[in-house]
Amino acid sequence: DTAVSQTPKYLVTQMGNDKSIKCEQNLGHDTMYWYKQDSKKFLKIMFSYNNKELIINETVPNRFSPKSPDKAHLNLHINSLELGDSAVYFCASSQAWTGGGGVTEAFFGQGTRLTVV
Amino acid sequence: DQQVKQNSPSLSVQEGRISILNCDYTNSMFDYFLWYKKYPAEGPTFLISISSIKDKNEDGRFTVFLNKSAKHLSLHIVPSQPGDSAVYFCAASGGRFYSSASKIIFGSGTRLSIRP
């Protein structure tokens, strides 16, 4: 019973295509994230949603568009894929910051390895 | 602009000895720090955390130390076991300073190998 699940696990596609990665969490968390792990292995935050509302939008090309149909889902749609988009994309979720003792830990999905050829 | 830095990309430790992984940060607004462990082809999994009001947090074989004046934290694993071989990510957050969702900033990771 996976807590944070992403599909697909692997995605190989040609330049210029449009693709989506889906993410679902069954933890009842309020906050979901997309992270990108690049070739240098950095985990960089891309987006964060809290209760379906976009909270964090880092400097990401507008070809990347997150969609949160409900609190349990945060999908990532990528238009006009480029070679540099090849990376591993991780979805994560956590409880929202409650204003008390700081943030709780984030739970990650297994990652989606995107290869653009 | 790396706000969380792990300067050692890899570390090799003999089984049974202590593993010490280091992490430095630059943003004094961070007030919550986390360590994640990652196996190949899996997502990172939470290991241990520490709030800035503490300087030490222990959980079994894992202890995290925080030195706020030096903006440095370390993860100690003792004794090290073969199953500890993984990539360890240090992460930080300024949870208290954001109005809603927090942003967790990760370091680049340290690959720990435990040799027999």
Q: Rounded to a whole number, what is the largest CA-CA distance in chain B?
A: 48
Mean pLDDT over the full length of chain B: 90
- Please choose, from the candidates B97, B99, B84, the residue with its C-alpha nearest in 3D space to the C-alpha of residue B11: B84
**Chain B positions in Cβ-Cβ contact with residue A49 (cut-off 8 Å):** 101
A107 touches chain B (CB under 8 A): yes
Q: In this complex, do A97 and B98 lie within 8 Å of one another by their Cβ atoms?
A: yes
For residue B18, report the phi and psi dihedrals to the nearest 5 degrees: -90, 135
Report CA-CA distances (Å) from B101 to A54, A71, B72: 10, 13, 24
Q: Is B2 left (phi over 0), alpha (psi -120 to 50) or beta?
A: beta
Residues of chain B short of pLDDT 70, as ranges, are 1, 95-102
Task: For residue range A11-49, list pLDDT tens digits in order.
Answer: 999 999 999 999 999 999 888 899 999 877 788 888 888
pLDDT for residue B100 = 40
Which two three-digit tokens encode residue A26?
A: 């069954």
